[in-house]
Amino acid sequence: MSLVEDLLAGDHRALARTITRIENRMSGYRDIVGELHEHTGNANVIGITGSPGAGKSTLVDKLTKHYRDAGHTVGVLAIDPSSPFTGGSVLGDRIRMVSTTGDMDVFFRSMSARGSLGGLSTATADAVKALDAFGKDTILIETVGAGQNEIDIVKTADTVAVLVPPGSGDDIQMLKAGIFEIGDVFVVNKADLPGADRTVKELREMIRTREDYTANGDTSPITTAIEHTTEGTHWEPQLVETVANSGEGVDELVSVLQDHAEYLTDSGARTERDRLRYAEEIRTHVREDVRYLLAREIENRGGLDELASAVEQRETDPYTIADTLLDPIESCLEEQSTELDQ
């Protein structure tokens, strides 16, 4: 645990090594994350998502500089597409993020999505814990931008900002299909380009429609999981126009992000959101661990091809094989339950 001690003492190399262990799922990473957990819960975690080309990297760069100018320490996790050959990050250079180059109070890391449809790998939440425990005041997560599947960010970030470039009808349709429901703040970036006014108008109408659904109790499972009303308080999604290249609108965006952070705390919604987040995290870890145990059991029984061949020969059926594979796990759980009852 000397690595944890060094990280908590503010050693940047220890932080980098910890995140490497987490991302590569190296031996002992779970123990490290477990040790760090009690030191988390202080950072403000902001997710920046949206379609490719919306200007996420440039805006994250400007936000990072703004927070640094305000005296905040910042951690940036840029989630990139996975290499089909190595599984690693494809866009690791991030040449657009240059405003804080050389600033030791900014920790930047590109991470691979590892094939996750939602654009975030399980390792992302663990890396956020490392940055939080290290003492970063603000943590920015830039997602891949994978269309309507880009919803996993809500399981990790406290505040989600959705970027939409102007004049992009397809992006508006994408929002209607999915991530529109998870946005706490909507940002029309590149607002100096033609079509920005129309995009702003369409987004305002969508936000109004979403609010009507919420008021009527007609919400989707995603919205239900993230919308919180405590003692009559409610957060209405905000719309901000920015031009990330010049920094125009960034001050207003930071102000709105801060408003949402204060809302989460004052309304009690942060506590409820954390509870839902941890419940989902536990569910994810259990699902991954069971998948690993089953994969090992399949190999012990000759591999999937041999089992499939037995089904093909009508010697058995898929349900019977599934039951047989699960029997050892079920027996162990029943045995433990019996011991606890005693």
pLDDT of the chain along its 342 residues, tens only?
A: 699 999 999 999 999 999 999 998 899 999 999 999 999 999 999 999 887 788 899 999 999 999 999 999 999 999 876 554 444 445 544 555 667 778 899 999 988 765 444 446 788 999 999 999 999 999 999 987 655 445 678 888 999 999 988 875 555 655 555 567 788 999 999 999 998 898 898 888 888 877 766 665 555 444 444 444 444 568 999 999 999 999 999 999 999 999 999 999 999 999 988 998 899 889 988 998 999 899 998 998 899 999 999 999 999 999 999 999 999 888 988 888 888 877
Q: What is the model's pLDDT at position 309?
A: 94
d(CA 50, CA 174): 10
CA distance 75 to 132: 9
**Which residue(s) pair with 162 in the sheet?**
49, 186
In the chain, the amino acid numbered 148 is Q
Q: CA-based Rg of the chain, rounded to a whole angstrom?
A: 22
> Under 8 Å CB-to-CB from 173, ≥6 apart: which residues?
none
Residues in the chain: 342
Q: Name the amino acid, one letter, at 321.
A: I
Q: Three-class SS of residue 233?
A: strand
Q: Return d(Cα 48, Cα 54) in angstroms, integer.
A: 11
How big, in percent rounded to 5, are the helix, strand and coil portions of the chain? 55, 15, 30
Q: Report how far residue 289's alpha carbon sits from residue 301's, in angstroms, rounded to the nearest whole number.
A: 19
- Amino acid 222: pLDDT: 40
Give the integer Cα–Cα distance in Å for 257 and 161: 8
* Both structure tokens of 294: 């089953």
Q: What is the pLDDT, as a whole number, of residue 148?
A: 44
CA distance 332 to 63: 50
Predicted local distance difference test score (pLDDT) of residue 311: 95
User: How many Å apart are CA 92 and CA 80, to the nearest integer?
Assistant: 7
Q: What is the dihedral of CA 132, 258, 236, 281, to 10 degrees?
A: 0
* Beta strand residue intervals within the chain, DSSP E: 44-50, 74-80, 106-112, 138-142, 159-164, 185-188, 238-241
Would you state the pLDDT for residue 342? Answer: 72
Q: What's the confidence (pLDDT) of residue 81?
A: 63
User: Measured at the alpha carbon of residue 195, what is the angle toward residues 211 and 98, in degrees to the nearest 5?
Assistant: 90
Within 10 angstroms of residue 272's Cβ, the number of other Cβ atoms is 15
Phi, psi of 107 (to 5 degrees): -105, 120
Q: Which residues contact 310 (CB under 8 A, 6 or more apart)?
A: 316, 321
Domains of the chain, each with CATH number or no CATH: 40-267 (3.40.50.300), 283-341 (no CATH)
Question: Look-up: residue for tokens 């380009």?
Answer: 193
- Token representation of residue 67: 């927070």
